[in-house]
């Protein structure tokens, strides 16, 4: 795949569990093209979240190679520019409002100015929260908090969006709305999406579906 935004080659990861070595990933290969949506399913303990952390550069593989847009640079500054992440538990800062939470992504790259504030405001509008910009997370529903998290993930115009069970804490209807939002915004902006989910219906909506079992794709 010559236009791969993400390329993972032969990734392995092992953890110590008491006196045992537990191999979580056993040589995973994954290429994701610009604008492509890919879902990853697998039973609990299959290594889905571990793989996503490796793809995000939050952890290092024991062996194998990770490239973002052809580069092995996965440092903090590059990460802030290259990818956005959406988690199951939102991870919003409770003491600041929705707009300020979205702007936190921009702060990774410096002090946000008027242009960044305008973009954050526009993104909240795109996710249907224009009238909730100055509400604290505690004043928002679970679905609204996840929408703020999606806006934050897209703040720096990333090439890649990683979503780890983004509907896991939401009811079925709200979960469908968040998946609609993720797929729609990624298609609109040509942002590649890797979605880890236990929901077969959500996985089926991505362009490519993968299943992780015993540390490898099957």
Mean pLDDT per 10-residue segment, the chain (218 residues):
86 90 93 96 89 94 96 92 93 97 94 95 95 97 95 96 94 93 93 95 96 91
Residue 3's pLDDT is what? 80
Specify the pLDDT at position 1. 55
pLDDT of residue 45: 81
Per-residue confidence (pLDDT) for residue 136, from 0 to 100: 98
pLDDT score at 2: 58
Right CATH number for 37-57+75-206 from 3.50.50.60, 2.40.50.140, 1.25.40.10, 3.40.50.300?
Answer: 3.40.50.300
Residue 19's pLDDT is what?
85
Give the model's pLDDT for residue 16: 86
Give the number of other Cβ atoms within 10 Å of residue 184's Cβ: 11
Domain locations in the chain? 37-57+75-206
Interhelix angle 142-154/98-107, nearest 10 degrees: 30
Residue 168: closest CA among 160, 158, 178, 159 = 178
**DSSP-derived pairing of the beta strands 216-217 and 208-213:** antiparallel
């Amino acid at each position: 795949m010559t236009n791969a935004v993400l390329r993972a080659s032969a990734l392995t990861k092992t953890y110590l569990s008491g006196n045992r070595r537990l191999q979580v990933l056993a040589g995973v290969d994954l290429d994701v093209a610009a604008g492509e949506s890919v879902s990853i399913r697998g039973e609990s303990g299959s290594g889905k979240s571990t793989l996503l952390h490796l793809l995000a550069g939050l952890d290092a593989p024991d062996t194998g190679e990770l490239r973002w847009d052809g580069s092995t640079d996965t440092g903090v500054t590059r990460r802030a520019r290259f990818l956005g992440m959406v988690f199951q538990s939102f991870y919003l800062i409770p003491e600041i409002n929705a707009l300020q939470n979205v702007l936190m992504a921009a702060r990774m790259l410096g002090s946000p100015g008027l242009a960044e504030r305008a973009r954050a405001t526009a993104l909240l509008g795109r996710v249907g929260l224009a009238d909730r910009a100055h509400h604290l997370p505690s004043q928002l529903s679970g679905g609204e908090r996840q929408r703020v998290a999606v806006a934050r993930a897209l703040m720096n115009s990333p090439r890649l969006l990683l979503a780890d069970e983004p509907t896991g804490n939401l009811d079925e209807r709200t979960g469908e709305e968040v998946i609609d939002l993720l797929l729609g915004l990624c298609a609109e902006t040509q942002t590649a999406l890797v979605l880890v989910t236990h929901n077969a219906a959500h996985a089926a909506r991505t362009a490519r579906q993968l299943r992780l079992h015993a540390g490898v794709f099957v």
